[in-house]
Structure 1
Amino acid sequence: MVPPWGGELAIDLLPSLDFEARGRAEPTWGVGHSDMSTVITPLTLRTGIAAVHGNNLMDTPYLDTSRCAGDESLLVHAEACEDKAFTICRHLHGMRLAGFFDRAAAVLVGRTHPDSRTLTQYEAVLDALGPLGVPIAADVECGHVAPFLPLVNGARGRVVHTAARSEIVQTLG
């Protein structure tokens, strides 16, 4: 499943998808970015099938991280497309308060464009996610700002971030 372009209304497909049947079928990759995340993230969370990239599903029944990875902690990644720092801060607070990050071992936040003199993107992320007490890596090269590093939802991940090196290693299975 690889869409040729965006999926602004892809969320409308979710009630029509049979996630149980999809989970029993032979695994098929889901690949998408931005709005397509509204299809591929539930694909991973509800079936365990790996998909490349995803987010933007707050306040829907499709964003239940309890189905993912059994008892393991999660490496959570999030990014914002066009939102300003204050909006990002509010969204991340909402996600945290809704329990989205409860099983996070670390959070990766995609690179965005700076937009505010009073609240930076970094400050917004730290304000909202700092209370988690887990490592937070900001300015990750995934999302809407080049070089668009793809991440595999449902893969095991290891992150190394030092002054000399930043690396994300993902493995399936």
Structure 2
Amino acid sequence: MIRYPEPLKIGQTIGVTATSSGVESELHHLLRKAAHQFEKRGFSVLLGETVWTNEKLTSTPKEMRLAEFKEMMEDDDVYAVIPPWGGHFLSEILPLLNFGEMKPKWIVGYSDTSTLLLPITLLTGIATVHGTNFVDLRSDAWDPVTSKFIEVLTASRGEMIVQPSSEKHQSEWQHFAPSDPYVFKLDTETEWKTIGNKPVRFEGRLLAGCIDTIRHLVGTPFGDVKRFQEEFIAGEKIVWALENSDMDAPDFYRSILQLHNAGWFDNAAGIVFGRTAAGIAKGGFSDVDALERLGELTGLPIAYDADIGHVPPQMTFVNGAYAEIEVVEGKAIMKTKLI
């Protein structure tokens, strides 16, 4: 059975800790602006010490990142944890965590943060949230897709959250551009696609992550998908939501092939792949070629150019929750049930 954290309420505190990369001094204003937006909406924000520094791709040494994360997870006055953003080396702290002592508390993020979220759900059955980063919530208005994260965090067990796909997405990052009205510059029409160019519908238990980092969980104690299926979801099918941050098309294919060979897609219902600015073709081999080959290998329905990952906005995918996803004529709808 999946365990869900208590719903977040107005007046409660959100902790911000850099479990992977911290924020350089020239971007500290992003942290302050995001904290201000939560405070305007009635929440308190606790900005940890780790968020203010970044050296050699990590906020602080792994022992300090671990200590601050544990402190926020064990603090009864902190009701949700949202890292500022991802990074590269979160996996350093995984062997140091005592997963068995974890209590349900909402943790939100993507990119390298998914290297933490996925193992927590796999090893404990606690739901986690693959969604927005803290610094991307710094505008007066939150766009309709991104803002669904707060609907998830404030929902109770048994509730359903309905998320339609975006109308438009962002073509490039502009960290210093003013919000108008959103942080993301939604300038490009969104079109979800499917392998085979036909409507698809599938349902099952969600698992999400950034392939660049979660592929390294294969073969470790932190990536035991089969055990999760047997222990926590009674053999129910899985719906995967995955994204490629930096890999070219051949590396992307090798990575999803590794996940397939490791059995991650066994007993799956379907796979959603996010939009990417990566996936560069080589020798005529594209990322769509990779997805077509995966479709042939697995026989699973596959959707791509979806609202997940480093080309925002992105939907909020609740690891462990039950979801129904339907894609028809370039549009998608996801119904997530906290059951």
Judge same fold: TM > 0.5, yes or no.
Answer: yes
Q: How many Å separate the matches in 2 of 1:137 and 1:11?
A: 28
- Structure 1 residues 164 and 8: CA distance shift in structure 2, 3 A: closer
TM-score (norm 1): 0.90
Q: CA deviation at 1:136?
A: 0.7
2:214 aligned to which of 35, 41, 57: 57
Contact 1:96–1:129 (CA<8 Å) still a contact in 2? no
Tell me the alpha carbon deviations over residues 99-154 of structure 1, each in whole angstroms, 9 at most, x when there is no partner. Answer: 11112111111111352261222111221343111111111110111222221111
Equivalent residue for 1:35? 112
Equivalent positions of 1:79-118 (< 5 A) are: 79-113=243-277, 115-116=280-281, 118=284
CA distance in 1, matches of 2:312, 2:121: 25
| Residues 9-158 of structure 1 aligned to structure 2 (within 5 Å) | 9-22=89-102, 25=103, 27-53=104-130, 54-55=209-210, 56-58=213-215, 59=218, 60-66=220-226, 67-68=228-229, 69-113=233-277, 115-116=280-281, 118-158=284-324
Cα separation, 1, equivalents of 2:330 and 2:253 = 29
The answer (yes or no) to whether the contact 1:74–1:105 under 8 Å persists in 2 is yes
In the other structure, the counterpart of 1:159 is 325
C-alpha separation in 2, matches of 1:112 and 1:128: 17
Q: Is the 8 A contact 1:92 1:129 kept in 2?
A: no
Kept after mapping to 2: 8 A contact 1:80/1:110: yes
Q: Secondary structure at the match of 1:167?
A: strand
Q: Structure 2, unaligned stretches of length 5 or more?
A: 1-80, 131-208
Q: Secondary structure at the match of 2:93?
A: helix
Deviations 1:24-71 (A, max 9, x none): x3x101112101111111011111111112343233321111214221
Quick one: distance in 2 between partners of 1:34 and 1:94? 19
- Report the 3-state secondary structure (helix = DSSP H, G, I; strand = E; otherwise coil) of the residue aligned with 2:214: coil
Aligned-CA RMSD value: 1.6
Distance 1:106 1:164 in 2: 17
Identity of aligned residues (%): 34
Measure the CA separation in 2 of the matches of 1:79 and 1:88. 10
Q: Distance in 1 between matches of 2:92 and 2:116?
A: 9
Looking at structure 1, the residues matched to 262 and 333 of structure 2 have their Cα atoms a distance apart, in angstroms, of 29
Deviations 1:65-99 (A, max 9, x none): 12142210000111110111111011011110111
Structure 2 Cα separation of the partners of residues 136 and 21 of structure 1: 36
Q: Does structure 2 retain, via aligned residues, the 8 Å contact 1:158–1:168?
A: yes
Would you say the 8 A contact 1:10–1:39 is kept in 2? yes
SS of match in other structure, 2:113: helix
Q: Provide TM-score, normalisation by structure 2.
A: 0.48
Deviation at 1:164, TM superposition (A): 6.3
Q: How many residues align?
A: 170
**Greater Rg by CA:** 2
Unmatched 5+ stretches in structure 1:
none
Q: Secondary structure at the match of 1:57?
A: helix
Partner of 2:338: 172
Code of the residue aligned with 2:106 in structure 1: it is W
